[in-house]
Structure 1
Amino acid sequence: MKRIEKAGPFLAAVLLLAFFISMPALFTGIEEKALINRVVTEELPENVSMEYSKASLSVAEKLEMIASVRAGSRRISQVNGGVSTAASDADIMDKAREELEKLIKMQAIMEFPVENCELIGADFFTFVDTQDMSRSVNLMWLHLYTDVGMADILMDMETGQIYEYNLYWESYDMLGGPGEVSGAAAGEVDGSLDLMGLDEMIRNFQEYLGLSREEFESYYDILNMPWYIGLK
């Protein structure tokens, strides 16, 4: 009993010393836990939006993305099989006819009977900037059948604007006699366009896109006009 009484002050001193040694670490742990709780539960400022937003791109910016993919850029990713924003094939064709008629009226494409065009196929895809996911362009390749042949057009799914077209028919004799093509596309008897008419068609397509001459020349291949005009 006397041994316990003698050891009592010593044990108390040891426990008191241990308490003073562990006290800073204990308070530090409590402070760190309080800091973590405060960070986790802290509300976001009102001006911070967590919602996905899509950037509004110009025609030149969209063409740059398309051209970058074709040039093998890894920054722009192509996703095939995108979902069409159109409700039906009829809606797609209505927009395609509207844009083709606009091109014909502007004399930026050879004239042909647009009202009889039929949709025989479509490919949907999206180009996305992997470093800025808000930058994207949704496109569709439309494969059309007409009374005079076939046509492929690359159309912007959001605006309906046509960026490329490829025509497949044997001659320019679409509406009149041999070799007749109306407007700026009027050619010679053998169906060829003169340089003046061809140059005007190219300028009209440039105007339709809203590009400067320098932008147009940097993006577009016109060597196979008037049958084909597309990005390099």
Structure 2
Amino acid sequence: MPLPWRTARLVGRHDETATARTLVLDAPGWPGHVAGQHVDVRLTADDGYQAARSYSLAAPADGGRLEVGVQPVTGGEVSPYLADDLPIGASVEVRGPLGNWFVWRPEQDEPVLLVAGGSGVVPLMAMVRAHRQAASTSPFQLIHSVRGEADLWYRAELGGTDPALDVRFLFTRQAPPGGTRAAGRLTAADLEPALKRLTPAGTVYVCGPTGFVEAAADLLTSAGQDPATIRTERFG
């Protein structure tokens, strides 16, 4: 049976980058979700035209509160409006939670490596936050690949001190001054230190644009990572 559409109200909007936003929605009756899942958001125009898109949830379940990450797509029907024009207090429809494979649950105790390309960090951030909320001691590593510093999501939160989380930022077009790594795409050398700390039973989650995810998965398997331990989610 298809999941029902529920009415949700926009109660907050936070900038993540110059263009990307976190939308905070209040969805009464929300059944809860697991870190890594996503939700469909539907808009209805005055003439009855409807458009729906899928967005990742950026935080663990908290009653009817949903945090959704939105990166506007140039010329898009839905994302630019959600990011900048939907008024606070306005209503949309949501359906979910969706996806049961690309998830992390607090009972998991194996080491985890998260690999994000751009806005693919959103569902991985939900895992980081769920891991912290559960006070889990399982080792967590995050590699976040972006074009430049201006494209970093959750900069303050990920740049903080968390003994259970190891974070590395990679820059593909413009590296910050004084960095030890030149700008460039993800390489086997970037993954090698993280994979050495990942036990054979460790799980890797990769999320981002299709090209990034495919390239990362190829690098992981070429390095000897068991494909059965690699979970991927892609967009675009």
Same fold (TM > 0.5)? no
Q: Which structure has the larger Rg over C-alpha atoms?
A: 1
Q: Identify which of structures 1 and 2 has the higher relative contact order when contacts are C-alpha pairs closer than 8 Å and 6+ apart.
A: 2
So what's the TM-score if we normalise by structure 2?
0.25
Structure number with higher strand proportion:
2
So what's the TM-score if we normalise by structure 1?
0.25
